[in-house]
Amino acid sequence: MLELKKIKGNTYYFPSPANIGLYVSNNDAILIDSGNDSDAGRQILKILNENSWSLKMIINTHSNADHCGGNEFLQKKTGCKIASTQLEKAFIENPILEPSFLYGGFATQELRNKFLMAKPSVVTDFISNSGNILDTGLNAISLPGHFFDMIGVSTPDGVVFLADSLFSSRIITKYHLFYLYDISSQLETLQKLSTLNYEYYVPSHSELCTDLSELIEINRTKINEIIETLVDFCTEPKTIDSIISYVFSKYNLTLNSSQYVLIGNAIRSYLSYLVDSKVLKTVIENNEFKFVK
Ligand SMILES: [Zn+2]
């Protein structure tokens, strides 16, 4: 069950596997993300009602289903606005784009699942990826890397919600790989995070904290380790599938189809980063697309 926790002033959050932020001003509530499904939406609405707060807006940090899965229920029940950046809007309103993008074609029925596909909702307001978010008093911070045009959201209470720009050390130790769309942007985002100066930080998939430096280092170290692993493996030309299989075996992970498309896609992004940095190159051998040092 979701539980409301106060962080400071008018800023709250619902701790959960994907933390949900809340900012309340004059009994008007603004959510930062909406949980992973209608059930999360139902629990959030119940808590808002108990406090006599009315939901005015959901700001989605990005379009992954675990962040916008409660949108449809909450918008249907309250008529709330939904705000996101333009590229994320395309996915929020057309959830089929996510499994299609990850798979790289028309996704199988198995992949058109709740984990990769939220129910569609209507984004009423475009927002820029930095600066004031409409007239909410909240601010957007551009945090590209994990997804196309992901943002963090800061409140006037010195709290910043950091979306999926950092993963917890528990997740990194257990799974090693986490989803990244753009490695170069992610490395810049990590650099940017190290310059932020807020009182409280709330990454979606890690604990509330007052200092980010250790978490940034853990994330950066793992990204560099994966880069090294890929470069070392590609001394001979290797196909994508053999690279994915090698990385999963190295970390003792078992593939299921959702992980294959999610992590497989992330590994493709790492490989593009390495090709663009001129560390690897692509070759076609016997009609197989391969990567090599
Ligand atoms: Zn997430």
Q: Which residue in this structure is represented by tokens 């927002």?
A: 127
Q: How far is the CA of 178 from the centre of ligand 1 (A)?
A: 10
Amino acid 1: pLDDT:
93
Is pLDDT at 259 greater than 90 in this prediction?
A: no
Backbone torsion region of residue 37, taken as left when φ is above 0, otherwise alpha when ψ lies between -120 and 50, otherwise beta: beta
Ligand 1 centroid – CA 6 distance (Å): 22
1 CA distance to ligand 1 middle (Å): 19
Min mean pLDDT across 48-57, 75-84, 108-117 is at: 108-117
In 9-168, at which residue ranges do the beta strands (DSSP E only) sit? 11-14, 20-25, 28-32, 54-59, 81-84, 125-126, 131-132, 139-142, 151-154, 159-161
Could you state, in order of their start, the residue ranges of all structural domains in the chain? 5-223, 226-292
Q: Which SS3 state, helix, strand or coil, does residue 185 take?
A: helix
Does 226-292 match 5-223 at the fold level?
A: no
pLDDT band at 252 (very low <50, low <70, confident <90, very high): very high
Q: How far is the CA of 76 from the centre of ligand 1 (A)?
A: 23
8 Å CB contact between 74 and 80: yes
For the chain, where are the alpha helices, taking DSSP H only? 38-50, 65-68, 71-78, 86-93, 97-103, 169-175, 183-193, 213-233, 240-250, 257-276
> What is the pLDDT averaged over residues 45-56?
98
pLDDT tier at 255, thresholds 50, 70, 90: confident
- 25 Cα to the center of ligand 1, angstroms: 26
Residue 285: alpha-carbon gap to chain centroid: 35
Q: Is the model's pLDDT at 254 over the cut of 90?
A: no
In the structure encoding, which two tokens stand for residue 46, read together? 């119940």
Fold of the 226-292 domain: Arc Repressor Mutant, subunit A (1.10.10)
Q: What pTM value is reported for the model?
A: 0.96
Q: What is the mean pLDDT of residues 160-182?
A: 97
Note the pLDDT of residue 67: 98
Fold of 5-223: Metallo-beta-lactamase; Chain A (3.60.15)
Q: What average pLDDT score do residues 66-84 get? A: 98
